[in-house]
Structures are given as structure tokens and as C-alpha cells.
Amino acid sequence: MVIDPAELVATLKRLKRVQGQIGGIITMIEQGRDCEDIVTQVAAASKALDRAGFSIIATGLRACVLSGDSEYDAAHMEKLFLSLA
């Protein structure tokens, strides 16, 4: 399944923010910042990454339904979705 990149513009923005958050987390660790602050940022980045994954799966599922692509049946899409859990 190939998804039109135009359909994932918001997801790409989210992933770029996550990329920045990860860089910030690395810097925080290198600077010896407080554990609670680091964990808070890790949790935020993790949630944002999960949401990006859900967005990609939802977009792919919509594309499959609209195109009638039989290669990706409901069981396959469910497996992809649950891989994020």
C-alpha cells in the first residue's frame, strides 16, 4: 500500500516535532537535567509518535477501503494497528 504523501502532511509535521523533541531529550540527558523533566519529555514524544503511527494506519485504511485493495484485508490492518500497542 502506497499512501499519497499529500495526505500525510500533518503527520510529517508531527514527526518532525518528535524529531526535535528527541534531540531535546538527548541534550537534557547530556546536561544532567532532572529525571522528572526528562521522563515528561520522553512521554510527550512517545505519545506524539504513537499518534503519528495511528494517523498513518488510519490514512492507509481509508485508502484501502476507497481503492478496494484486497491485499490489505481487515486482519492485516488490525495487525498493523495493534503493533502500535
Going from the C-alpha of 61 to that of each of 20, 31, 33, 47, 53, the distances in angstroms are 28, 42, 41, 21, 12
pLDDT score for 70:
62
Number of helical (H) and strand (E) elements in the chain, helices listed first: 3, 0
- Global pTM reads 0.75
Domains of the chain: 9-82 (1.20.58.1000)
Q: Is the pLDDT of residue 31 over 90?
A: yes
Residues 48/61/83/54 CA torsion (nearest 10 deg): 10
What would the mean pLDDT of 25-37 be, rounded to a whole number?
A: 97
